Chains A and B, each alone.
Chain A
Amino acid sequence: MSISEKLAGFLAGEEKKELVRISTAGSVDDGKSTLIGRLLHDSKSLYEDHLQAVRTGTGSDDFDWAGLVDGLKAEREQGITIDVAYRYFSTPKRKFILADTPGHEQYTRNMVTGASTADLAVILIDARLGIRPQSKRHAFITSLLRIPHVLVAVNKMDLVDYSETVFDDIVATFSAFCNKLDIGDLRFIPISALKGDNVVTKSDKMPWFTGRALLDDLDSIYIGGDNYVDLRFPVQYVSRPNATFRGYAGNLSSGILRKGGEVMVLPSGKSTRIKSIETYDGALEQATPNMAVTITLHDELDISRGDMIVAPHNRTKISRDIEAMMVWMGESALDPQRRYLLKHTAQTTNVQVSDLLYKVNINNLRRMSADTLQLNEIGRVALTCYQPIKFDTYRKNRTTGSFILIDAESNHTVAAGMIIDREPAASRSTKTTALGASASPAAWLGLTDREPFSFWICAPRLAPEAEQMVVRLREALAAADRPLFLLDETALRTGLCAELGTGALAQAELLRRAAETVKLFQNTGVTVLCHVDCPLPALIDFVVPVLGADHIAAVSLHEEPQPAGDFFIWPQGDDTAQGVVSAAIIDRILQRTQPAKNP
């Protein structure tokens, strides 16, 4: 065969190759290094000089495989693998990138890192030892990071006389455990990495095993197609090389971008059409997932890095509040009081962990309440971002559903998160703790007859009508012997909300905090009078979900459309004429507390 024929054949095959990412975890004793060494060696991906350096004898199998794959000096000294190492090998069909990570609990973060991009996971189980905590841990992480395929390699079969019973027991026990998880495709293969059984070629020592050798499975498992439906194009880089060209560059995470197609830019919500899809290799009619392109748009919109281009009828969620499963990777524990940076697609925002719902014991999958997350711990958290992010759940989209947290002082990457569907807002707000076995705080304070209630006055901060209304209500409630607390926006802005600005988002956050504060008081039986400057729809969005519609009355002194809701008291006639608040409206406000009082 001539060189040009050889090359033509080679390149034709090369062109069709798929890229497949594998993650594996395990310790030296599992035989993981041996397995990887053998995969690399037998798929002819090792160089002769690398191999000679770890030769221990003259036989064809006399190699110190660990020496081959344990790269860093510190690791060789300690005899362990301490980090994620990437290996590359290929078959005539596929190119593999293998993320090789240690299996011990203290390296959970490394396993998570390796798993984050994997299409397929290989879990190693020592046939002599059966299922160990680290096998379960690896399965849990695989499920958490949503790796679609899992191959369980039951290794060291040569040391259990290639026993079918041993293998079947492991399959039964581990399958039962994995049923509790979310693993799409689970397969088992009995192997001996050391002897080469069922690694690259099918072994004749285990005729009872009807499946394929490990490498055959790696080579043929169907790796799910890309998502062509949900258009998600995070704007990574704004390209303005000259006055006439304005392009938006990024890698398409999912969906199809088409020239002429209508798109919407988030968060602005403005729609336009795609004018062109530019690449160095020529303009395209359409772009498919994972392609790196630069698009131009028909309309000049204000678009910057971190914005998201979607289809108008199929948008991401936009919110400042998200819930996620989070893996803590920082040396110092999660501090819920502290501000972190959240990086999500091309956007970075300040963030605070508003609630830690539970942490998971990854050895037995039990949920435990927790005040913090330590290094390698995994928990479910609620986060409040300072700016809204445009996201999908991780289950739906690995790119728009994932984020990292960065410590703003040390700059370390301290956590990885996978966004999940939120619990309803009401169940996420402040929980007040009972002080006796069954007593509510109100009972403890001797205020049992007081139904939780708050009055909300929406009016400009120094409006004289509002001042009067506060005075009149205070007098009326004092006469009824109801303990009262007054909370106004000025007080909030000098303390609790000192860092908030005046935009719509800041206002929403101020209302949310006001509502949570009011709730703490209400639950002790104290009635709260709250004076804030906001439109009523904002009150409906941010206050009512926290306090409940039965426990508030609201009055607006702004001129605005009147939204529906029983809890609004509308000024009528002369109620606030000439800057004077009438007794009639105060009565109506007070009456509002009656029906809810004695359920």
Chain B
Amino acid sequence: MSTTPLDMTARATLQDTVQMPQRLSHLKQLEAESIFIFREVAAEFERPVLLYSIGKDSSVLVRLAQKAFYPGPIPFPLLHVDTSYKFDEMIAFRDQFARENDLNLIVSRNQNALETGANPFALGTAACCGALKTRALLDGLGDGRFDAAFGGARRDEEKSRAKERIFSFRDHLGQWDPKNQRPELWQLYNARLKPSETIRVFPLSNWTEMDIWHYIYLEQIPLVSLYFAKERTVIDRGGTLFPIENFPFPERLRGERKTLSCRFRSLGCSPCSGVVPSSAANVAEIIAEMTQVRTSERANRVIDHEQEGAMELKKREGYF
């Protein structure tokens, strides 16, 4: 069939009439692969949901989902796990973003833990994340009976993530078993689940931090203002700089105050997110700055550093 005379004619005609196209640029290729993942999940699962964290990776994730289903709307809701310690700017941005893009946004909170005053200082960051993030996430997934949850994690972020699959399976307790992952070959994703099992899907697995910024720049994706540099008064706590403005536990921030131009490289909860000195006030300047930066973006996240294998442990238990 492949080498019939007709076929040969077709080859000749093609080469005569079509100018040979260029291979896709790496960013277009990453985009196409992510779109493929979105569609595959929408086709194979009953109730997908997109875990929306308000951060830059989430914003890219939403744009890719819009592209995947255009001209239709995103055929699944967004779920935000609200620990109550998110910055005010983040919540305001979230609500406006959902409104403007006509997104179906669900917010999940661990209300019981919040009522008993859960916070990282009282519980330690591990237990605090466990209650306010992991528990609230698992509850949110359970309440919606979601079988597939998209997340914005990338493999270049942290060592234990380098080995995570794009389709990452969780048992009925939401736990990850790194030794029992399904092989992923070509673009053939095994989407079979048993009842009560769920899956986390990471369409940005192969993107690097630079790819994300480059894409945000090209696509003009809106971001929370916290990513951009401005003068903030900060206190150094354990090597991490915390802005004192709106810090929920001011009594915990002691030491010398200094005021400097700085920004957040990644956004989490205010008690655990530090800033880096920077003068980059827009996406273009951030990219320019990044061509020199040699510190990983999670370096200012307190939760990764507490113990050897901290992130892997959290993930095993169901943390994103």
Q: Which of A71, A83, A226 contacts B159 (CB 8 A)?
A: A71
Contact status A314-B7, CB under 8 Å: yes
Stretch at the interface among B35-43, B45-53, B101-109, B127-135: B35-43
* Chain A min CB distance to B97 (Å): 17
Q: Which of B14, B72, B187, B211 contacts A256 (CB 8 A)?
A: B14
Contact status A406-B192, CB under 8 Å: yes
Q: Which of A11, A226, A279, A403 contacts B214 (CB 8 A)?
A: A11
Cβ < 8 Å to A, chain B residues 1-37: 1-2, 4, 6-7, 10-11, 14, 18, 20-21, 23-33, 35-36
Given A49-B296, A241-B71, A413-B190 in contact, is the A88-B32 Cβ separation under 8 Å? no
B32: chain A residues at CB < 8 Å are: 251, 290-292
* Chain B min CB distance to A250 (Å): 7
Contact status B179-A225, CB under 8 Å: no
Q: Which of A47, A72, A84, A239 contacts B294 (CB 8 A)?
A: A47
B190 and chain A: residue at smallest CB distance: A413
Stretch at the interface among B143-151, B221-229, B254-262, B284-292: B284-292
B25 and chain A: residue at smallest CB distance: A15
Cα A226 to Cα B296 with chains together (Å)? 35
* Chain A min CB distance to B66 (Å): 6
Cβ < 8 Å to B, chain A residues 116-141: 116-117
Q: Which of A3, A117, A317 contacts B1 (CB 8 A)?
A: A317
Q: Which of B21, B155, B184 contacts A88 (CB 8 A)?
A: B155
Cβ < 8 Å to B, chain A residues 366-425: 392, 396, 398-399, 402-404, 406, 411-413, 416
* Tally of B interface residues using CB under 8 Å: 76
The reply to whether the CB of A343 lies closer than 8 angstroms to some CB of chain B is yes
A292: chain B residues at CB < 8 Å are: 31-32, 35-36, 39, 67-68
* Chain A min CB distance to B3 (Å): 10
The reply to whether the CB of B273 lies closer than 8 angstroms to some CB of chain A is no
Contact status A71-B183, CB under 8 Å: no
The reply to whether the CB of A315 lies closer than 8 angstroms to some CB of chain B is yes
* Chain B min CB distance to A74 (Å): 6
* Tally of A interface residues using CB under 8 Å: 93
The reply to whether the CB of A574 lies closer than 8 angstroms to some CB of chain B is no
Q: Is the interface of A mostly helix, strand, loop or mixed?
A: mixed
Contact status B183-A228, CB under 8 Å: no
Given A50-B296, A85-B163 in contact, is the A6-B291 Cβ separation under 8 Å? yes
Contact status A49-B159, CB under 8 Å: no
Cα A116 to Cα B208 with chains together (Å)? 21
Greatest chain B CB density within 10 A among A97, A109, A250 is at: A97
B156 and chain A: residue at smallest CB distance: A88
Q: Which of A16, A109, A341 contacts B192 (CB 8 A)?
A: A341
Greatest chain A CB density within 10 A among B6, B7, B18, B35 is at: B35
Contact status A398-B69, CB under 8 Å: no
* Chain B min CB distance to A375 (Å): 11
B193 and chain A: residue at smallest CB distance: A411
Given A19-B30, A49-B295, A256-B14 in contact, is the A411-B194 Cβ separation under 8 Å? yes
Contact status A245-B71, CB under 8 Å: yes
Contact status B163-A84, CB under 8 Å: yes
The reply to whether the CB of A48 lies closer than 8 angstroms to some CB of chain B is yes
Given A7-B284, A245-B72, A292-B35 in contact, is the A112-B7 Cβ separation under 8 Å? no
Cα A280 to Cα B65 with chains together (Å)? 10
A278: chain B residues at CB < 8 Å are: 70-71
B312: chain A residues at CB < 8 Å are: 71-73
Q: Which of B21, B178, B308 contacts A288 (CB 8 A)?
A: B21
Cα A225 to Cα B21 with chains together (Å)? 10
* Chain B min CB distance to A99 (Å): 10
A87: chain B residues at CB < 8 Å are: 156, 162
Contact status B186-A398, CB under 8 Å: yes
The reply to whether the CB of A313 lies closer than 8 angstroms to some CB of chain B is yes
A523: chain B residues at CB < 8 Å are: none
Given A72-B160, A241-B73 in contact, is the A18-B184 Cβ separation under 8 Å? no
B4: chain A residues at CB < 8 Å are: 313
Cβ < 8 Å to A, chain B residues 59-114: 66-73
Q: Per-position contact with B for A267-305: 1 when CB-CB < 8 Å, else 0?
A: 000000000001111000010111110100000000001
Cα A317 to Cα B4 with chains together (Å)? 13
The reply to whether the CB of A86 lies closer than 8 angstroms to some CB of chain B is yes
Cα A133 to Cα B11 with chains together (Å)? 43
Contact status A403-B188, CB under 8 Å: yes
Contact status B178-A313, CB under 8 Å: no
A236: chain B residues at CB < 8 Å are: 36, 39-40, 43
Contact status B287-A7, CB under 8 Å: yes
B160 and chain A: residue at smallest CB distance: A71
Contact status B183-A73, CB under 8 Å: no
Given A256-B18, A313-B7 in contact, is the A346-B178 Cβ separation under 8 Å? no
Q: Which of B21, B159, B284 contacts A4 (CB 8 A)?
A: B284
Cβ < 8 Å to B, chain A residues 74-102: 74, 82-88, 90, 94-95, 97
The reply to whether the CB of A10 lies closer than 8 angstroms to some CB of chain B is yes
The reply to whether the CB of B206 lies closer than 8 angstroms to some CB of chain A is yes
* Chain B min CB distance to A306 (Å): 9
Contact status B284-A3, CB under 8 Å: yes
Cα A279 to Cα B43 with chains together (Å)? 18
Contact status A83-B26, CB under 8 Å: no
Q: Which of A229, A279, A288, A291 contacts B11 (CB 8 A)?
A: A229
Greatest chain B CB density within 10 A among A82, A249, A286, A314 is at: A249
The reply to whether the CB of A17 lies closer than 8 angstroms to some CB of chain B is yes
Contact status B288-A3, CB under 8 Å: yes
* Chain A min CB distance to B22 (Å): 8
Contact status A237-B190, CB under 8 Å: no
Cα A371 to Cα B14 with chains together (Å)? 47
A238 and chain B: residue at smallest CB distance: B43
B40: chain A residues at CB < 8 Å are: 236-237, 346
Cα A392 to Cα B192 with chains together (Å)? 25
Contact status A402-B71, CB under 8 Å: no
The reply to whether the CB of A198 lies closer than 8 angstroms to some CB of chain B is no
Contact status A399-B186, CB under 8 Å: yes
Contacts beyond the supplied A236-B40, A313-B4: 12 A-B pairs with Cβ under 8 Å = A7-B284, A7-B288, A50-B159, A70-B159, A72-B159, A245-B71, A279-B70, A313-B6, A314-B10, A398-B186, A406-B190, A413-B182
Sample (11) of A-B pairs whose CB atoms are under 8 Å apart: A7-B285, A19-B30, A72-B160, A228-B14, A229-B10, A241-B73, A292-B36, A313-B4, A313-B7, A314-B2, A412-B182
- Nearest 6 CB-CB pairs, A to B? A241-B72, A47-B296, A19-B26, A71-B159, A292-B35, A411-B192
Residues of B with Cβ closer than 8 Å to A? 1-2, 4, 6-7, 10-11, 14, 18, 20-21, 23-33, 35-36, 39-40, 42-43, 66-73, 155-156, 159-163, 178-179, 181-188, 190, 192-194, 205-206, 208, 210-211, 214, 217, 284-285, 287-288, 291, 294-296, 299, 308-309, 312
